[in-house]
Structure 1
Amino acid sequence: MSTPAAVPEPAPEAARPVEERTIQGRSPWRLAWERLRRDRVAMGSAVVIVLVLLIAIFAPVTTTITGHGVNQQFYDTGLSPDGLPRGPNSTFWLGTDDLGRDLLVRIAYGARISLLVGVAATALTVVIGTVVGLAAGFLGGLVDTVLARLVDVVLSVPFLLVAISLVSITGPSLTVTVLVIGFFSWASVARIVRGQVLSLREREFVEAARSLGSGNLRIMFVDVLPNVLAPLIVYASLLVPVVIVVEATLSFLGLGLPPPTADWGGMISESQGYYTVAWWFVFFPGAALVITTLAFNLLGDGIRDAFDPRGEPVKS
């Protein structure tokens, strides 16, 4: 009688391929973090964003260091004998504006407005878009038809014309700016969420939740929503710089926060008549706006690549 062949034992942990050992047991969120951490451009952008955030939080420190208030006007030292802004010097490190105010202090306070509007309007946009997209994609039928047509209507409305009309009626304010941007931005988020939900509502875990007696609301927000968080995070990270630029554009057109509020878009608008004789007046607020939006865009690209399932396995 022949002896039965021995069953090979599983390979020890040390003998397994590196890729298998490093990926095994890691969640998609952990893998995305590992990819993002390896992206030097995204990490550098995150550092820039943190620095801008710290500048915004500690804006009063610039007032203490320089001794200049955010709206304080220095007609004697901040303006030339011809009434023109002063260039960068030991007293005004980034120069002054057309009213003799310190640009450094106003740029630091302007960072507060840009980040606040960017985060608040993006959060409002994501919340509205997510709720509408979940309802349209999961419930389907008449609800989907009505909400889809509503999305089409919102996307077809001329944004600037409506913004000008609303501001002329209510007056410019931070609340109006956030509401206007949020109202005209949620439709794109709703379309993305709806597309994701349409591919998820017939999955096995949804059928299992139904068989256990779960209602539509519980399935939508407990079972389906976590599966669309990744694209939502990616879209939100890319939406923040867009919102910041839109807010600066509204301020540039005189539809943002009323003066003398320090605002990057408003500062760029005020510098229009001085760019040939006071380059710093337009350069430094514009540079702050470009650097901030570029950092958010690069970080958003890195987050998008980190969540891409086609990315290469993360190695330790």
Structure 2
Amino acid sequence: MTAALELVDVTAEPAAIQGRSPLALALRRLRRDKIAMISLAVIILIVLMAVFAPVFAAITGHPPNEQYRDIGLTPEGLPRGPNGTFWFGTDDLGRDILVRIAYGARVSLLVGVFATAITVVVGVVLGLAAGFLGGITDTILTRLIDVVLSVPFLLVAIALVSITGPSLSVTVLVIGFFSWASVARIVRGQVLSLREREFVEAARSLGASDGRIMFVDVLPNVLAPVIVYTTLLVPVVIVTQATLSFLGLGLPPPTADWGGMINSSQNYYTTAWWFILFPGLALLITTLAFNLFGDGVRDAFDPRADRS
């Protein structure tokens, strides 16, 4: 017993215990989610396809808007199926579907990113103001949120596009304007439960302004639900953009666009299955990957998921 005690170095300092931040714990849970990681890999591949769309055009030798009516259409004027020249077949004008899908990914991701960014920024700022300031500010902003949520989106989008004409900027602004209200409502609900907390009262007692308290003290505590909602909002925006294009309210032709490609393929689904299949699969895989990744992010940021 005495010999065992002599082996213990009583002067040795105990090992430092390192704590993990909530963000580190969330990232650790996210890395363990295999479905979320696979979905993230798919999203990265889609992003790479969009970035290197000119490479697809160079490899195949087919620009996205070039019409190959001699080799891209049958003698009957129908699209040609997948072959060694056109890997995904051609559309009704003899254009390469693979190259157009790659360029269409650019449109979907650009609209998804920029419209979501506008939505989140506007929603967070107005949600913070409504929940923290309260009073007449909260009443006005809450009524504004209710009005925006009650407006029929497609009808207003059709009216705006008929006035201004279809373009990428109009699509982004329309989607962003009609999507921020949901984010603002979520943020407002979170802020209402935080504004009476002790750290807010401590900041007030130290003379901090309302703006500093909102953006320095309160905002970091609502970022988790905002991040989760953002990841789930991107696929909604992509589908909305494809819907507008399908209805003829998206980008004007001949711009490659998944929704527009699906719209053009309606009359050929019985004779040219590849025309509707490949753009539809691109849209389905993209939205599914973002949704599954968003579910993983939601589970990772949910404190109840940590059982340790």
Q: TM-score range by the shorter chain?
A: over 0.9
Q: 2:97 is matched by which residue type in structure 1?
A: L
Give yes or no for the alignment of 1:153 onto 2:159: no
Q: 2:76 is matched by which residue type in structure 1?
A: D
Aligned to 2:6: none
Counterpart-to-counterpart distance in 1, 2:305 and 2:160: 45
Counterpart-to-counterpart distance in 1, 2:14 and 2:66: 68
1:45-88, Cα deviation, whole Å (9 max, x unpaired): 00000000000000000011000001000001000000000000
Instruction: Give 1:29 shift.
Output: 0.3
In the TM superposition, what are the counterparts of 1:150-299 in structure 2 within 5 Å? 150-299=144-293
1:110-156, Cα deviation, whole Å (9 max, x unpaired): 00000000010000000010011000000001100110000000000
1:7-57, Cα deviation, whole Å (9 max, x unpaired): xx9xx979xxxxxx7xx6001000000100000000000000000000000
Counterpart-to-counterpart distance in 2, 1:226 and 1:260: 44
Counterpart-to-counterpart distance in 2, 1:171 and 1:199: 44
Instruction: Give 1:160 shift.
Output: 0.4
270, 291, 307: which is aligned to 2:301? 307
Secondary structure of the residue that 2:166 maps to in structure 1?
A: coil
Secondary structure of the residue that 1:288 maps to in structure 2?
A: helix
Gaps spanning 5+ residues in structure 1: where? 1-8, 15-20
Counterpart-to-counterpart distance in 1, 2:78 and 2:241: 28
Q: 1:140 is matched by which residue type in structure 2?
A: G
Counterpart-to-counterpart distance in 2, 1:13 and 1:46: 40
Q: 1:148 is matched by which residue type in structure 2?
A: T
Instruction: Give 1:211 shift.
Output: 1.1
In the alignment of these two chains, the number of paired residues is: 296
Aligned to 2:42: 48
Instruction: Give 1:313 shift.
Output: 3.8
Aligned to 1:6: none
Counterpart-to-counterpart distance in 1, 2:114 and 2:227: 15
Instruction: Give 1:212 shift.
Output: 1.2
Change beyond 3 A, Cα 1:262–1:198: same
Counterpart-to-counterpart distance in 2, 1:155 and 1:135: 18
Following TM superposition, where does structure 1 have runs of at least 4 consecutive aligned residues deviating by more than 4 angstroms? none
Aligned to 2:4: none
Change beyond 3 A, Cα 1:13–1:311: farther
Aligned to 1:61: 55
Q: Tell me the TM-score normalized by structure 2.
A: 0.94
Counterpart-to-counterpart distance in 1, 2:109 and 2:133: 35
Counterpart-to-counterpart distance in 1, 2:73 and 2:45: 30
Aligned to 1:17: none
Change beyond 3 A, Cα 1:244–1:13: farther
In the TM superposition, what are the counterparts of 1:107-122 in structure 2 within 5 Å? 107-122=101-116
Q: 1:53 is matched by which residue type in structure 2?
A: V
Instruction: Give 1:311 shift.
Output: 1.0
Secondary structure of the residue that 1:273 maps to in structure 2?
A: helix
1:187-208, Cα deviation, whole Å (9 max, x unpaired): 0000000000001101111111
Counterpart-to-counterpart distance in 2, 1:29 and 1:303: 11
Q: 2:21 is matched by which residue type in structure 1?
A: S
Q: 1:299 is matched by which residue type in structure 2?
A: F
Q: Tell me the TM-score normalized by structure 1.
A: 0.92
73, 79, 90: which is aligned to 2:73? 79
Q: 2:264 is matched by which residue type in structure 1?
A: E
1:216-259, Cα deviation, whole Å (9 max, x unpaired): 11111111101111000000000000000000000000000000
Counterpart-to-counterpart distance in 1, 2:52 and 2:307: 40
Q: 2:152 is matched by which residue type in structure 1?
A: P
Secondary structure of the residue that 2:94 maps to in structure 1?
A: coil
- The percentage of aligned residue pairs carrying the same residue is 77
Secondary structure of the residue that 1:243 maps to in structure 2?
A: helix
